Amino acid sequence: MNQYEVTFIIDPILPGDEIEKAAQAYEKLLKDDSCSIVNVDHMGLKQLAYPINKRNSGVYKCIEFQSDKQDIVPKMELAMRRDERIIRYLTIKLDKYGIKYNDDKRNGRIGKKKSKEEAEAEKLTVIKDDLTLIEGIDSKVSKLLSVAGIKSYAALSEKSQDDIKSILSRGGSNYLNYDPTTWTDQAQLAADGNWSKLNEMKDKLKYGDSVSEEE
Amino acid sequence: MATRDEIKFLSNPNIGKDNKKYCRFRKFGIRHIDYKDADFLLQFVNEQGKLLPRRITGNSLKYQKKVAIAVKRARHLALMPYVADLLK
C-alpha cells in the first residue's frame, strides 16, 4: 500500500462551484479506482510566483490518498493533463516521514504557533461580540459580563435588568454607577443586526448624558 | 591617517569565536521537508531565488539534497519563483 499526494492548481477564472466540481471529480476518480482518500487539503486561492497561461493566481488543492495499484498515478495524471481546468499538478509518493509529517500537521503537532493564533481568532470572532458597542458598557463592564457568561448580544438581551444589576453589584462598588436599564434593548437590536436603529438609540442616550452632565 | 576606530576591525573580530555552523534538520530532528511550505524554503534561497550552497546554510549533504528537491517542487507549483529580483 503506497501513499501518494497530488497537489494541483485549478483555474481561478471558473465560477466557485465549477472549481469545487473539478476537485470533486478527481476525488471521485480516485475513489472509483478503490483508492482510500486520506485527506483533502483546500489550500485556497494563492498568488502564483510566476504567471502560467496568463494567469496570475490559482486555487490550490491537495489530495492525499492510498492505493496499492501501480497504474493509478499515470491514469490520474493523464486525466489532469487533458483537463483544461487544471493549470498544473504534481504527484508525490510519500515516504514514512512524509506520512508522519502530514499526519502531525493535520493534528496540529507541527506549527503550533499558527494553530494557537487561529484558535484565538476563532474565539474572538465566533463566541464574543464586542459588547462595548452598547452605549453605557465600557471595556471593564464587558469583561465583568463575559466572566459571568455573557459574551454575545443575544446572551445579554436574554437577561433581565435585575440579573445584570446583580452581576454588576457582585463586581464591587465601582460598578454601582452604571445604569443597565437600556442595555437589554440595545443588545436585542445588536443581536438582530439592526445597527441603524441602535445608533439612533445611542445618539439619544448620549444626548441625554450630556444634558445631565451640564446640570 | 586612519583613526583608532577604523583600525579596530583590521583583523576579523569573529576569529576565535565558536560559531560553528550546523545542520538544522539534524539538530531539530526534522525528517521531512514540505514543498508546500514556501516561507520555510525561502531560507534556503538567495534574493534571486537561487539555492544557497551548503557552505552557507550548513546543511548536511543528505538534507541539502532534500531541500533542493523541495525547492524545485515548490517552483514547479508556482509557490516559489524560478527567477526573481529582490525576493527578500
3-state secondary structure of A36: strand
Of A50, A90, A97, the CB nearest to B31: A97
- Measured in degrees and rounded to the nearest 5, phi and psi for residue B9 equal -110, 30
Name the pLDDT band for A214 (thresholds 50, 70, 90).
very low
Q: Tell whether the model's pLDDT for residue B25 goes beyond 70.
A: yes
Alpha-carbon span A165 to A158, nearest angstrom: 14
CA A193, A194, A199, A205 torsion-angle sign: negative
User: Which grid cell sits at A56?
Assistant: 496570475
* Strand-pair partners of A67: A2
Show residues of chain A in contact with B80, CB under 8 Å: 49
Question: Which residue did the predictor score with more confidence, B61 or A193?
Answer: B61
Contact A101 B31 (CB under 8 A): yes
- Best of B77, B79, B85 to disrupt the A interface (most A CBs within 10 Å) is B77
Q: Tell whether the model's pLDDT for residue A211 goes beyond 70.
A: no
pTM (2 d.p.): 0.61
Element (H, E) at B75: helix B61-76
Supply the pLDDT for residue A160.
75
Q: Tell whether the model's pLDDT for residue B18 goes beyond 80.
A: no
Q: What is the mean pLDDT of chain A?
A: 80
Question: Which residue did the predictor score with more confidence, B12 or A18?
Answer: A18
User: Which grid cell sits at A10?
Assistant: 485549478
Contact A92 B73 (CB under 8 A): yes
How is A48-95 classified by DSSP, letter by letter?
A: EEEEETTEEEEEEEEEEEEE--SSHHHHHHHHHHH-TTEEEEEEEE--
Q: Min CA distance, A113 vs chain B (Å)?
A: 14
pLDDT digits (tens, 9 = 90+) for A136-166: 777 677 767 676 767 777 777 777 777 777 7
Q: Min CA distance, B80 vs chain A (Å)?
A: 5
**Hey, is the C-beta of B51 within 8 angstroms of any chain A C-beta?**
no
Alpha-carbon span B78 to B67, nearest angstrom: 16
ipTM topping 0.85: no
Supply the pLDDT for residue B32.
93
Q: Min CA distance, B52 vs chain A (Å)?
A: 19
Q: Tell whether the model's pLDDT for residue A215 goes beyond 50.
A: no
Of A49, A95, A100, the CB nearest to B79: A49
Over its C-alpha atoms, chain A yields an Rg (Å, rounded) of: 27
**Hey, is the C-beta of A9 within 8 angstroms of any chain B C-beta?**
yes
pLDDT digits (tens, 9 = 90+) for A19-59: 999 999 999 999 998 889 999 999 999 999 999 999 999 99
Supply the pLDDT for residue A209.
53
The burial class, CB within 10 Å (0-12 / 13-18 / 19+), for B34 is middle
The full set of domains in chain A, from first to last, is 2-94 (3.30.70.60), 127-214 (no CATH)
Contact B73 A90 (CB under 8 A): yes
Distances (CA, A) of A169 to A11, A154, A174, A187: 60, 22, 9, 20
**Residues whose CB is less than 8 angstroms from the CB of residue A147 and which lie 6 or more positions away in sequence, other chains included:** none
Four-way CATH pick for B21-88: 3.40.50.2300, 2.40.50.140, 4.10.640.10, 3.40.50.800: 4.10.640.10
